[in-house]
């Protein structure tokens, strides 16, 4: 018979932390991540809350002050109990080590509780296994998310780092990652940056996937790229890569006729060029945050990783919330946190609402589905508009193959419009050469003559 396992906890470390805090009122600043919930012993948690209350008020956190605060808060405790804890450590110097043990055991208890909840999910009737597994993944993903720790930085240190950055940039060491789209790189001050999220929104058929694959190929010449496709299998992505790299008619590649010697020659040549790219694909559907983090870490360990593409946001699986808007809010913010924690640039594709089809012209940021969550987390937001793809387009000849990418939000730079050329049969997208086309204004109606009386 298996003996009962002890709950992860260290009452000695908890007492050590509290003892150090009561010996030195400034010691609270050395354990900024510690919370009352991390203490397993309820009395210890109440003592820590009292210490926090005093520290916030700028009051001393000595034993007598803590005792008085707890009495006022209605917590029954004797002065001798606090005295025993206050004597537990000879100094406050080891408080960080004790606090680390308290936090570690707290996270182990969280893991244990998550395990119990996951077991309950498996035993709950009336739910599909995939749905319950997704909820379990989100529980673990939330538990695995640890905020990157950063200490406050004096402006002298900030200046030193900043001047070094400018020096590196002047020597051509720009931290930006060029997308290969000249107009876009100009607005983005050189390209994408690690830790940032670039959102690309469009309606179907406007070239969202073609543009993202073009960017991925351009970047993958010099950087490591992971492209997560939830909409197309890898073979479909390869059809588009091959057509664009040829360039060759996608329809002829899809037909793959044995007698089409030109097609086979173009495919062979494209395969050679594609094989030189540092590009990894994945086509798992309904990705969760945990899936994305796991795949990102896997690719980063195996190949290194600079830029992550996610196609697209609305196809991602839920975060265990009843409200879909709340789910997407958690997902978008989770992607932003992951970009910063793992030091990668993220290009997040997003679907736009049907309302964008109701008026002729470039869509706005409000047409992005769940735009509130996206606007809060994204560093840049761009919307793509292809004239001939719009249901209200007149399809005039000068607008054939013309697209516009508008940067509608930019946290660290300007907004603007990037004219693009979209060649659908080659799945190619790049800078528009020459002046952009303009709509001709309708001729003014002739002035009506006054009636003769």
Q: Please, what are the domains in the chain? A: 11-101 (1.10.860.10), 175-431 (3.40.50.300)
Residue 157 has pLDDT above 70, yes or no: yes
Q: Is the pLDDT of residue 452 over 50?
A: no
Report the mean per-residue pLDDT for the chain: 84
Query: What is the arithmetic mean of pLDDT over 245-267?
Result: 89
- Does the pTM exceed 0.85? no
Give the pLDDT of residue 263. Answer: 87
Mean pLDDT of 243-259: 89
Record the tokens describing residue 44, joined without a space. 């210890």
Q: Is the pLDDT of residue 412 over 70?
A: yes
pLDDT for the residue numbered 216: 96
Q: Quick one: pLDDT band at residue 451, thresholds 50, 70, 90?
A: very low
Contacts 24+ apart (CB under 8 A), 205-209: 205/386, 205/389, 206/384, 206/385, 206/386, 206/389, 206/390, 206/403, 207/384, 207/386, 207/389, 207/403, 207/420, 207/422, 207/424, 207/429, 208/311, 208/312, 208/349, 208/384, 209/240, 209/311, 209/349
Average pLDDT over residues 381-407: 89
Does position 446 have pLDDT exceeding 60, yes or no? no
How far, in Å, CA of 135 to CA of 131, rounded? Answer: 6
Residue 106 neighbours by CB under 8 Å, 6+ apart: 37, 38, 39, 40
Predicted confidence (pLDDT) at residue 450 exceeds the cutoff of 50: no
- pLDDT digit string, tens, across residues 11-63: 989 998 998 888 888 888 778 778 889 999 999 999 999 998 888 788 888 88
pLDDT-wise least confident of 103-117, 383-397, 433-447: 433-447
Q: Which residue has the higher pLDDT, 21 or 448?
A: 21
Evaluate if residue 322 carries a pLDDT over 50.
yes
pLDDT bracket for residue 1 (50, 70, 90): very low
Residue 318: pLDDT over 70 = no
pLDDT exceeds 70 at position 141? no
Per-residue pLDDT, 144: 62
At 179-214, the pLDDT tens digits run 999 999 999 989 999 999 999 998 888 989 999 999
Q: With beta carbons less than 8 A apart as the criterion, state whether 198 and 345 touch.
A: yes
Place of tokens 């719009």: 390
Residue 163: pLDDT band (50, 70, 90) is: confident
CA distance 245 to 240: 8
- The percent of residues above 70 in pLDDT, for the chain, comes to 88
Q: CB–CB of 210/363 below 8 Å?
A: no
The pLDDT of 366-384, averaged and rounded, is 80
| Contact of 385 with 202, CB cutoff 8 Å | yes
Q: Answer yes or no: is pLDDT of 371 > 70.
A: no
Position 41 scores a pLDDT of 92
pLDDT grade for 443, boundaries at 50, 70 and 90? low
Q: What is the CA radius of gyration of the chain?
A: 29
**With left for phi above 0 and alpha for psi between -120 and 50, is residue 384 left, alpha or beta?**
beta
**Which range has the worst mean pLDDT, 20-29, 143-152, 325-334, 336-345?**
143-152
| Mean pLDDT value of segment 167-176 | 78
User: What does DSSP assign to residue 367?
Assistant: G
- Weakest mean pLDDT among 66-70, 130-134, 212-216, 332-336: 130-134
Q: Is 132 helix (H, G, I), strand (E, B) or coil?
A: helix
Q: Grade residue 145 by pLDDT with cuts at 50, 70 and 90.
A: low
Backbone φ and ψ for 286, nearest 5 degrees, come out as 50, 55
Quote the CA–CA distance of 106 and 370 in Å, as a whole number: 35
Strands of the sheet containing 416-423, edge to edge, are 279-282, 225-229, 307-311, 345-351, 197-202, 380-386, 402-410, 416-423, 428-431
Instruction: Please provide residue 175's backbone torsions phi and psi, each rounded to the nearest 5 degrees.
Output: -70, -10
Indicate the SS3 state at residue 160. helix
Instruction: Please state the rounded mean pLDDT for residues 231-244.
Output: 91
Helices (DSSP H) in 79-203: which residue ranges? 79-86, 95-123, 129-144, 155-170, 182-187
């Amino acid at each position: 018979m298996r003996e009962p396992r002890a709950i992860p906890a260290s009452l000695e470390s908890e007492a050590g932390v509290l003892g150090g805090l009561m010996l030195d009122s400034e010691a609270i600043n050395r354990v900024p991540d510690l919370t009352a919930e991390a203490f397993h012993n309820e009395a210890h948690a109440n003592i820590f809350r009292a210490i926090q209350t005093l520290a916030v008020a700028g009051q001393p956190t000595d034993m007598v002050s803590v005792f008085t605060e707890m009495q006022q808060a209605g917590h029954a405790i004797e002065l001798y109990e606090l005295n025993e804890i206050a004597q537990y450590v000879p100094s406050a110097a080891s408080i960080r080590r004790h606090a680390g043990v308290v936090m570690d055991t707290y996270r182990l208890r969280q893991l244990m509780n998550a395990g119990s909840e996951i077991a309950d999910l498996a035993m709950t009737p009336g739910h599909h296994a995939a749905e319950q597994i997704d909820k379990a993944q989100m529980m673990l993903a939330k538990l695995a998310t640890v905020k990157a720790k950063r200490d406050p930085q004096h402006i002298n240190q900030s200046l030193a780092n900043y001047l070094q950055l400018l020096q590196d940039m002047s020597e051509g060491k720009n931290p930006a990652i060029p997308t290969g789209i000249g107009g876009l790189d100009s607005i983005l001050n050189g390209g994408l940056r690690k830790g940032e999220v670039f959102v690309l929104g469009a309606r179907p058929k406007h070239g969202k996937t073609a543009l993202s694959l073009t960017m991925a190929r351009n970047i993958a010449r010099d950087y490591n790229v992971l492209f997560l496709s939830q909409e197309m299998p890898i073979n479909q992505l390869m059809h588009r890569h091959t057509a664009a790299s040829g360039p060759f008619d996608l329809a002829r590649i899809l037909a793959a006729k044995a007698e089409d010697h030109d097609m086979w020659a173009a495919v062979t040549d494209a395969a050679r060029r594609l094989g030189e790219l540092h590009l990894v694909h994945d086509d798992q559907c309904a990705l969760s945050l945990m899936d994305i983090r796991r795949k990102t870490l896997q690719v980063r360990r195996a190949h290194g990783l600079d830029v992550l593409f996610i196609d697209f946001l609305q196809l991602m699986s839920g975060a265990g919330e009843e409200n879909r808007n709340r789910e997407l809010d958690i997902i978008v913010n989770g992607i932003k946190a992951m970009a910063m924690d793992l030091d990668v640039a993220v290009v997040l594709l997003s679907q736009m609402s049907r309302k964008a089809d109701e008026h002729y012209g470039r869509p706005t940021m409000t047409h992005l589905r769940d735009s509130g969550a996206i606007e809060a987390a994204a560093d840049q937001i761009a919307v793509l508009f292809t004239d001939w793809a719009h249901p209200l387009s007149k399809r005039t000849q000068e607008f054939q193959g013309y697209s516009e990418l508008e940067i509608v939000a930019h946290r660290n730079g300007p907004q603007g419009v990037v004219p693009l050329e979209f060649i659908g049969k080659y799945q190619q997208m790049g800078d528009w050469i020459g002046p952009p086309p303009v709509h001709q204004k309708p001729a003014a109606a002739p002035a009506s003559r006054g009636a003769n009386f």
